[in-house]
Amino acid sequence: MPVHNIEPVYDHNSKILILGSFPSVKSRVACFFYGHPQNRFWKVTSAVYNNELPITIEEKKDFLLRNKIAVWDVIKSCDIKGSSDSSIENVIPNDISLILNNSNIETIYCNGNKSYELYMHYIYSNIKIEPIKLPSTSPANAACTLEKLIETWKQIKR
């Protein structure tokens, strides 16, 4: 059973929390969020904030914290085939109260349908914060163009 090996990124200034479902194989190997080269998360968020595309893990952390963004995933561990969200079973959720109690989160966003479904099933009843579902930046969401993702994700910058 793969275990989430990436620490959440946040600090006391974080105002929004973006939750994925569970790190892809590439992200688990890289030990950082959205590590698959075809995932559009970094392209989308850097475009929304008019920033240069962060490349290194340190640049990505700096970008997130500078823009008051916290990032983590709904799942702590699960059974999963490769990186396929549709194969997720035997979920153990992360305790996101760690972030909520040590930051100034005002809004929670879910990166894609699976993240939203998992959040509503495993976390919502404890947290009672309604998340906003955004279209997934995953390469599996090929129907959504980069331009459409950027336009939809602009709501994270308020």
pLDDT on residue 73: 93
pLDDT on residue 85: 67
Rounded Cα gap, residues 96 and 80, in angstroms: 21
Helix (H) or strand (E) holding 116: helix 113-122
Rounded Cα gap, residues 60 and 32, in angstroms: 9
Which residue segments constitute the domains of the chain, with CATH numbers given? 16-156 (3.40.470.10)
> SS3 for 150?
helix
pLDDT on residue 11: 98
What residue type is 45 in one-letter code? Answer: T
Rounded Cα gap, residues 128 and 99, in angstroms: 15
DSSP characters over 15-48: -EEEEESS--HHHHHHTSTT-STT--HHHHHHHH
pLDDT on residue 150: 97
Q: Which parts of 29-144 are beta strand (E)?
A: 69-73, 75-79, 89-93, 107-111, 132-134
pLDDT on residue 131: 98
pLDDT on residue 91: 86
Go through 84-111 and write b for each residue having 16 or more CB atoms within 10 A of its CB, e for each that does not. ebeebeebebbebeebbeebebeebbbb
Identify the segments of the chain with pLDDT beneath 50.
none
Looking up tokens 């969401």 gives 141
pLDDT on residue 83: 67
